[in-house]
Amino acid sequence: MRAFSSGGYLLRNARFEVRLIYTGFLLLTLIGMLTMAAFQIWHIGLTPERIAAYYNGGDSGTEMSFGKTFRQLVETTHFHSFIMGVEYLVLAHLFIATTLATTTKRTLIVVGFAGLAGDLISPWLVHYVSGSFAYLQLLSWSAEWIGFGAYIAVPILEMWFRNDERIASIE
């Protein structure tokens, strides 16, 4: 963590072993994100009607389901807030150690956090306030995918495919 406190730390300048570790973490995170996408697409659904049916119970088109209980929502929120909070912390730190413009980094850090926060609160709103908050769930998923996608892709590209010294030696 000391390296990240230095304003000039860049992933592309990290030692080879460090880049291997970060890449392994990013690839494992990518697998987690892909399984999350599979769950969102095939288990919950990508329409407001299917999202509302998932949390409130009802016919999702292929099966009948019971609404989520208070306990189920608490368990899910508890687990996701801790694990995704840690993921966000690590990914955001790796992301800020890239050469993207500061405003782009700040924007994507806020987008990812807003998506994550919305993903945590949307199920509660859908279940206890209105099924219309399923639109917020979809928006949150989109923001989460944009932010976290950048947190994974940009560091990998910078560590392995963008190195000004390597580029200069080729020219």
Give the Cα separation of 152 and 49 in Å (integer).
31
Residue 6 inside a domain? The answer is: no
The tens digit of pLDDT for each residue in 122-167 reads: 999 999 999 999 999 999 999 999 999 999 999 999 999 976 554 3
Residue 65 inside a domain? The answer is: yes
Residue 5 inside a domain? The answer is: no
Q: How many domains does the chain have?
A: 1
Predicted local distance difference test score (pLDDT) of residue 58: 85
Predicted local distance difference test score (pLDDT) of residue 59: 73
Parent domain of 119: 12-170
* Identity of residue 90: V
pLDDT band of residue 9 (cuts 50, 70, 90) is confident
Half-sphere exposure of 1 (CA within 13 A, CB side): 3
pLDDT band of residue 63 (cuts 50, 70, 90) is confident
Half-sphere exposure of 117 (CA within 13 A, CB side): 6
Mean pLDDT over residues 16-44, rounded? 94
Give the Cα separation of 158 and 26 in Å (integer).
13
- Tell me the whole-structure pTM to 2 decimals: 0.85
Residue 54 inside a domain? The answer is: yes
Give the Cα separation of 129 and 132 in Å (integer).
9
Q: Is 65 helix (H, G, I), strand (E, B) or coil?
A: strand
Residue 84 inside a domain? The answer is: yes
Core vs surface per residue 66-84: b (16+ CB within 10 A) or e: eebeeeebeeeeeebeeeb
Residue 28 inside a domain? The answer is: yes
Residue 7 inside a domain? The answer is: no
The tens digit of pLDDT for each residue in 69-125 reads: 999 999 999 999 999 999 999 999 999 999 999 999 999 999 999 999 999 999 999
